[in-house]
Amino acid sequence: MPSVQRVASSAVAATATPTLRQGSSGAAVKTLQQKLSSKGFSLVADGQFGPKTRAAVLAFQRANGLVADGIVGPKTWAKLNAVSTPPSTGGTTTLRQGSKGQAVVSMQNRLRAHGYSVVADGVFGPNTLAAVRSFQTAKGLAADGIVGPQTWAKLNAAPSSNNTGGVKSNPALAQAARSVALSMGGYSSQGLCATGVSRAIQKVYGIKVWGNGNDIDNNLPRSKFKQVNLTLEQALKIPGLVLTWEKTSTTLGQRYGHTAITLGDGHSSASDFIETWTTNNGRSGFKVFAPV
């Protein structure tokens, strides 16, 4: 006959990892959310198993070779409770959009270490692709979105210190800005900088920001962007920041100002065209806005 102590231990184990699904709530859900957060998922541990928690569970299950049903049972708990393997420092697996698994998790963790806002879910999707391309551009590599030996070498190098005070990046916005700029003017200005910036923001956030170049700073939704204190040199190293100037040296610029989105390579920005070397020369009233 089992001892009282063994029965009690079994009861604790059973209640510590109950089967959870969307609609569940309580301390076990909070524990689940904390474990998912430790794996790189952006969740608030509020004890409520809502749509965001379910999406994180599905991504975690896919990344770990489990049935992606959104239900946290014994197998999912086992993977969540497993000790995390430190990120690889010598990645050799070539990765591209559509890749999945632990190698992708390692790559995403390295991107996070370099300041890119991606979730380490083991799924190489569009957001990870945008981050990889932005990272490659910033490191002087061919921005093909494929993580091969050269990209791995740069990822595994120690992140550079840009003294940016924890300002968040948004590689997806940088990639959208590049795409919009190439579709509008390429490398030649069309005089529609605010239009280009607004289109890029709409692609990523689903919102339209109205106004001219010197209106954008007042019209950016503060729930999505905040003004930060960075120099232009610092800002250009971070992908997906919105830059605004009240005035430029041109006749139209004196009236409408200028706005652009940083590409993260240390020198380029995009609006209705890609400005290869962005400077403050002839421009005044400079401001920087970062994703919240």
pLDDT tier at 194 (50, 70, 90 boundaries)? very high
Q: What is the DSSP letter of 67?
A: -
pLDDT single digits (tens) 218-268: 999 999 999 998 889 889 989 999 999 999 988 888 999 999 999 988 899
d(CA 169, CA 167): 7
**Stretch 57-72: mean pLDDT, rounded?**
85
**Stretch 109-118: mean pLDDT, rounded?**
76
Residue 6 has pLDDT above 50, yes or no: no
d(CA 92, CA 103): 9
Q: Can you give the pLDDT at residue 285?
A: 92
Lowest mean pLDDT among 90-94, 183-187, 214-218, 258-262: 90-94
Could you tell me the strand order of the sheet in which 274-275 lies? Answer: 225-228, 287-291, 242-245, 258-262, 269-270, 274-275
**Stretch 137-146: mean pLDDT, rounded?**
84
d(CA 231, CA 210): 25
> Domain coordinates of the chain in residue numbers?
4-81, 102-156, 171-291
Q: What CATH number should be reported for the domain whose range is 171-291? A: 3.90.1720.10
**Stretch 178-185: mean pLDDT, rounded?**
94
Helix/strand/coil for 242: strand
- 241 vs 127: which has the higher pLDDT: 241
Residue 108 has pLDDT above 90, yes or no: no
Looking at domain 4-81, its CATH superfamily turns out to be PGBD-like superfamily/PGBD (1.10.101.10)
Which spans in the chain are helix H? Answer: 4-16, 27-38, 51-63, 74-81, 102-113, 126-138, 149-156, 171-184, 193-205, 216-219, 232-235, 251-256
Residues near 286 by Cβ (< 8 Å), separated by ≥ 6?
232, 243, 244, 245, 280
- 149 vs 60: which has the higher pLDDT: 149
Q: What is the DSSP letter of 260?
A: E
- pTM of full prediction above 0.75: no
Quick check: do 4-81 and 102-156 share a fold?
Answer: yes
Percent of the chain surpassing pLDDT 90 = 43
Q: Are strands 258-262 and 225-228 parallel, antiparallel or unpaired?
A: unpaired
pLDDT tier at 163 (50, 70, 90 boundaries)? very low
Residue 127 has pLDDT above 90, yes or no: no
Q: State the architecture of 102-156 in CATH terms.
A: Orthogonal Bundle (1.10)
Residue with tokens 């490659």: 136
**Stretch 207-211: mean pLDDT, rounded?**
90
Q: Can you give the pLDDT at residue 45?
A: 85
